[in-house]
Amino acid sequence: MPARLRDLLGIDEPIVLGPFGGASSVELTALVSERGGLGSFGLYGYSPERIHEVIGSLRSATDRPFAVNLWLPTGDEVTPGDLDLQPYLDAVAPLYAEVGVRPPTPPAVFLPSFDEQFDAVLDAAPAVVSFVYGVPAPDVIDRAHRRGLRVLATATTVAEARALHEAGVDAIVASGMEAAGHRVSFLRPAEQSLVGLFSLLPQVVDAVSVPVIAAGGIADRRGVSAAFALGASGVQVGTAFLRARQSAVPESHRTAICDADDTSTVLTRAMSGRLARGIPNRAMREIETSGPVAPFPAQNWLTGAFRVEAAKQGRGDLLSLWAGQSAALATREDAGEVFAELLAGVPR
């Protein structure tokens, strides 16, 4: 099974780096690719100019295949003119004061245009483009294929996997509810799509004919071996790499992962307006109890205004501490050591 993914993506080892929105680094992405896996870089919120810059930096750092990740628009994203932001600003105002920043002025837009982002990706032409939060439109898949890009997309249920397969993606990431960060469900609400990886993975493998990449709760060789035993063609790993010094998270985020145990993560909409898994802290608790949470992406913008300064101040209690349920197994500080440990679980 691993050979299918290797041949499809032009990689040596069926290990994929999770694409971190806001925490990806060129160093970590390139390291995973250089070791023979598929490094991934999350482009959430990136302008076309910044996308070109990042892909150029990655090309300078490695000549091996790498992936970039885009969030598909779901149609329910709000814009600055859609709602009165003041009640939501008032709810988080104490957190701005905590780090000494003023409440921000609403921007013209919360997010760049997906079409412009995708055009930039096609122009830069990495080996792989991956998508979350939906089924890429037929013209998106077709344009990517005509440009020579492989297309990955993520499913959190069997029905989502079937939809992606029918659309013509090249491989599917089956993301169990154990995974860190946002629950990228798209056919049903995220709260109704919480399937554990051990249940999800074999059912997705049975439902589709393309390679399936297992994600969620995999942090060492034991998880890798289990994923392949259940039919995976590869594994995608996030938290174990996030804890490594080569990721872009602040040191306070690494410390929180290091201190986590099996019950240390929760699901919340407090930090971004969409359901995500992370380690609870003061910001999460106060937002959940102090007032209304703005819809996505307004809430992500609102909390981002104090999270940037909190990171500079080493204030982990005011960050989005995304982490998966296997955070306690993320014990290695160097990404090369993480890769070696995962590689030990790949069948030969």
Q: Tens digit of pLDDT for each residue in 111-156?
A: 999 999 999 999 999 999 999 999 999 999 999 999 999 999 999 9
Q: Does residue 36 register a pLDDT over 80?
A: yes
Asked if 4 and 36 count as a contact pair (C-beta separation under 8 A), the reply is no
Q: Average the pLDDT over 179-195 and give the result.
A: 98
Mode of pairing for the β-strands spanning 234-237 and 15-17: parallel
- % of the chain residues with pLDDT over 70: 100
Domain boundaries defined on the chain: 2-343
pTM of the model: 0.97
Put residue 181 in one of left, alpha, beta given phi > 0 → left and psi -120 to 50 → alpha: left
Asked if 174 and 235 count as a contact pair (C-beta separation under 8 A), the reply is no
Residue 246 φ/ψ, nearest 5 degrees: -80, -10
Q: Does residue 204 register a pLDDT over 80?
A: yes
Looking at the domain 2-343, which fold is it?
TIM Barrel (3.20.20)
Which of 106-110, 170-174, 318-322 shows the lowest per-residue confidence on average (mean pLDDT)? 106-110
What CA–CA distance (Å, rounded) separates 200 from 156? 8
**Per-residue confidence (pLDDT) for residue 53, from 0 to 100:** 98
Give the pLDDT band of residue 290 (cuts 50, 70, 90).
confident
Residue 127, both tokens: 């080996």
Q: Does residue 1 register a pLDDT over 90?
A: no
Asked if 339 and 37 count as a contact pair (C-beta separation under 8 A), the reply is yes
Q: Tens digit of pLDDT for each residue in 54-98?
A: 999 999 999 999 999 999 999 999 999 999 999 999 999 999 999
Residue 245 CB: number of other CB atoms within 10 A?
A: 14
